[in-house]
């Protein structure tokens, strides 16, 4: 039979170009990439053997041993290609990550293994092909088994593709089905016209489509720096943790890149990123993978601690010397972190939180690496546990959201005249979790609005059910507003939803100085809410977040002096004068004052000496549960049972 190998020669050239492009560029180390690389190598060997066998068959009598060897290699490759494609499809559709399917996957490869053994025994059995002593080539009686097995694996791949079509883009779905259909069609035509050698052509076209769609050279690459991107970082460290492999991370942040952009332009900033990326790639070659995890931050992930420490040391030394960007000599400042044995984290998400808690919140930028301890990891786990408990409590799945009330006392009236409503989180074991832990978590996770709604609803129901404002003695109950609530845009509707039927003038809201300066439209929004009758207090006054001018723009009726001013006043006469001056300034613009944090008689006397009437602090009462507050308010309201202690 006269074979025509020239179409396959052209296909081999195309396949060789794909291989050079694939293996000659940085490749993200994933299962998909590894399987594709192996698949590509076997396809190259298969196509080369197919072409070589076509020529050798013509001269088999002279090169009989070589012809046998090349044909054996060809049949082994062709037997392996279909199950390898099947595994590649499983890696793309993530079936291979499903532990429940692993017995099925292992079982599905048994036919391929049996076929490989049968092919290996072919010189003895002649089941698939053989050469006569004259050199004539013949197909064996069981050759159809290999065709049937190949079609079976391709059909099975098609079934998995269709089942996972919802997670695939349309182009991905079309290419995978197209590959399967094209190869099956080529096998059929090859069986009908064996001299045309069409399977190699179909294989090359299919691999080209897979390469362009699934193995895009730019996939997960940051084009500016030449490193891998943030998504690649998350995927890689996640796979290392899942595989329980040891690894360490070195991170670097160019702390003054914004200054470079402002002074020399964005082009200089981009070239800086490119230079840093090139430096890290050079120093990390053969040692680890480099990622640009965020605008001006890079990370190097190594599976050997020593390599990571060496890279951290070399990079820190490099940043201590000026660098050149074109004609510019720049002294860049960097912040570094060395996370040895990062595999101590249980997940990629936990690792991210650990790094964020140290790296992105640290101010140090001297180039010396920050370190992450076991205590840091445990702290992050504690916060993650608290967030989980908060979510369950809000969803009614365990624990509870409570509201406690810290009384505000009037020295003049010698009684409780108000209270601040404070959110409390009680876990499933009945323990209270400090608000310093769960409030920041609620703001960061987006749960703060749901939490605040729960608090506001609880406070309004507590007021209504107990007629707290009916005797006229309780002046107000205040509820805290977070910056997230103020920025959300639906604050007015939320207040209106819960506050119906309550004396609006006595349901007050507290905002902090930091919130007051974060949102330029805040005064306008607060004015609208104030027009409905509500009052606003400025909390934490004196902590320095806002100047007095910004405070004056807000429709607040009272300020709550931060306890730090009270503590400072006890340290020196100068600090005491600062406290007095602050109080006089607030009074001069007609605002009331509530002092927070009084814990002992001396502090209360200091405040009384300043003419402060309203005081909130542990000296009088800790935050109380609703029942305790009700009892406290009624008993003090009846007999005025406390007095300033000597």
Give the whole-angstrom CA distance, residue 248 versus residue 303. 6
Nearest to 214 by CA among 319, 88, 299: 88
* pLDDT value at residue 180: 77
Nearest to 590 by CA among 635, 550, 617, 555: 555
Rounded to the nearest 5°, which phi and psi values hold at 570?
-80, -10
One DSSP character per residue, 20-83 reads HHHHTS-----HHHHHHHHHHHHHHHHHHHHHHHHHHHHTTTTSHHHHHHHHHHHHHHHHHHHH
* pLDDT value at residue 398: 85
- Taking CB atoms within 8 Å and a gap of at least 24, the contacts of 382-388 are 382/437, 383/353, 383/437, 383/441, 384/350, 384/353, 386/425, 386/433, 386/437, 386/438, 386/441, 387/438, 387/441, 387/445, 387/447
Give the whole-angstrom CA distance, residue 266 versus residue 269. 5
* pLDDT value at residue 618: 92
Nearest to 449 by CA among 460, 439, 437, 459: 439
Is residue 207 within 8 A of residue 12, CB to CB? The reply is no
The upper half-sphere exposure of residue 13, i.e. CA atoms within 13 Å in the direction of its Cβ, equals 5
User: Over the stretch 286-342, which tens digit does the pLDDT of each residue have?
Assistant: 899 999 988 888 999 999 889 998 898 888 888 777 666 666 666 677 788 889 999
User: Over the stretch 503-561, which tens digit does the pLDDT of each residue have?
Assistant: 888 999 998 766 766 667 778 888 888 888 899 998 888 776 555 665 677 888 898 98
Torsion of CA 70, 74, 79, 84, to 10 degrees: 120
Is residue 434 within 8 A of residue 470, CB to CB? The reply is no
Nearest to 282 by CA among 256, 315, 251: 315
* pLDDT value at residue 183: 77
Q: Which run of H or E residues covers position 620? A: none
Which residue stretches of the chain have pLDDT < 70? 1-4, 60, 189-198, 217-218, 322-331, 363-367, 513-514, 516-519, 544-551, 635-646
Helices and strands, counts by H and E, the chain:
26, 18
Output the pTM of the full model.
0.63
The upper half-sphere exposure of residue 429, i.e. CA atoms within 13 Å in the direction of its Cβ, equals 4
* pLDDT value at residue 275: 86
């Amino acid at each position: 039979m006269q074979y025509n190998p020239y179409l396959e020669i052209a296909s081999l050239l195309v396949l060789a170009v794909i291989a050079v492009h694939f293996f000659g560029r940085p490749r993200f180390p994933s299962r998909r990439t590894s399987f594709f690389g192996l698949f590509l190598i076997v396809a190259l060997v298969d196509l080369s053997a197919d072409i070589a066998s076509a020529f050798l068959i013509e001269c088999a009598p002279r090169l009989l041993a070589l012809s046998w060897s090349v044909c054996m290699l060809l049949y082994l490759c062709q037997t392996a290609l279909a199950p390898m494609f099947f595994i590649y499809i499983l890696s793309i559709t993530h079936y291979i990550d499903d532990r429940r399917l692993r017995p099925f996957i292992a079982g599905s490869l048994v036919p391929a293994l049996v076929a490989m053994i049968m092919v290996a025994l072919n010189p003895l059995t002649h089941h698939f092909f053989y050469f006569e002593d004259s050199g004539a080539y013949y197909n064996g009686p069981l050759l159809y088994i290999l065709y049937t097995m190949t079609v079976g694996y391709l059909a099975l791949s098609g079934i998995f593709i269709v089942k996972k079509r919802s997670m695939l883009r349309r182009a991905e779905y079309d290419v995978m089905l197209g590959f399967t259909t094209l190869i099956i069609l080529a096998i059929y035509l090859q069986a009908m016209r064996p001299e045309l050698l069409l399977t190699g052509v179909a294989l090359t076209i299919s691999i080209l489509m897979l390469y362009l769609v699934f193995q895009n050279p730019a996939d997960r690459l940051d084009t500016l720096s030449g490193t891998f991107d943030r998504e690649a970082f998350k995927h890689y460290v996640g796979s290392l943790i899942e595989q329980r492999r040891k690894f360490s991370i070195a991170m670097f942040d160019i702390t003054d890149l914004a200054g470079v952009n402002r002074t020399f332009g964005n082009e200089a900033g981009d070239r800086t990123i490119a230079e840093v990326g090139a430096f890290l790639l050079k120093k990390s070659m053969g040692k680890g993978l480099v990622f640009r995890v965020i605008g001006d931050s890079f990370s190097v992930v190594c599976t050997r601690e020593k390599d990571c420490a060496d890279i951290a040391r070399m990079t820190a030394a490099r940043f201590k010397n000026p660098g050149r960007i074109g004609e510019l000599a720049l002294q860049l400042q960097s912040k570094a972190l060395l996370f040895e044995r990062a595999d101590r984290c249980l997940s990629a998400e936990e690792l991210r939180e650990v790094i964020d808690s140290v790296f992105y919140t640290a101010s140090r930028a001297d180039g010396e690496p920050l370190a992450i301890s076991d205590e840091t990891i445990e702290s992050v786990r504690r916060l993650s546990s608290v967030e989980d408990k908060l979510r369950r409590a809000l969803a009614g799945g365990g624990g509870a959201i409570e509201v406690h009330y810290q009384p505000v006392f009037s020295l003049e009236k010698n009684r409780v005249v108000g209270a601040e409503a404070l959110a409390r989180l009680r876990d499933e074991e009945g323990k209270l979790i400090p608000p310093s832990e769960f409030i920041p978590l609620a703001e960061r996770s987006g749960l703060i609005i749901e939490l605040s709604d729960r608090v506001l609803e609880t406070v309004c129901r507590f007021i209504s059910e107990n007629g707290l404002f009916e005797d006229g003695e309780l002046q107000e109950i205040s509820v805290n507003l977070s910056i997230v609530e103020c920025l959300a845009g639906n604050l007015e509707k939320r207040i209106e939803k819960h506050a119906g039927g309550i004396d609006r003038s006595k349901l007050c809201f507290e905002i902090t100085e930091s919130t007051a300066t974060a949102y330029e439209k805040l005064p306008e929004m607060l004015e609208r809410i104030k027009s409905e009758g509500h009052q606003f207090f400025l909390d934490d006054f004196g902590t320095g977040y806002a100047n007095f001018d910004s405070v004056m723009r807000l429709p607040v009726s009272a300020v709550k002096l931060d306890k730090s001013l009270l503590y400072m006043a006890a340290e020196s006469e100068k600090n005491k004068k600062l406290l007095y001056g602050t109080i006089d300034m607030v009074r001069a613009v007609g605002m009331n004052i509530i002092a927070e944090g009084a814990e002992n008689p001396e502090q209360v006397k200091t405040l009384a000496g300043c003419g402060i009437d309203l005081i909130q602090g542990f000296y009088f009462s800790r935050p109380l549960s609703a029942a305790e507050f009700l009892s406290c308010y009624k008993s003090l309201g009846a007999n005025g049972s406390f007095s300033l202690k000597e």
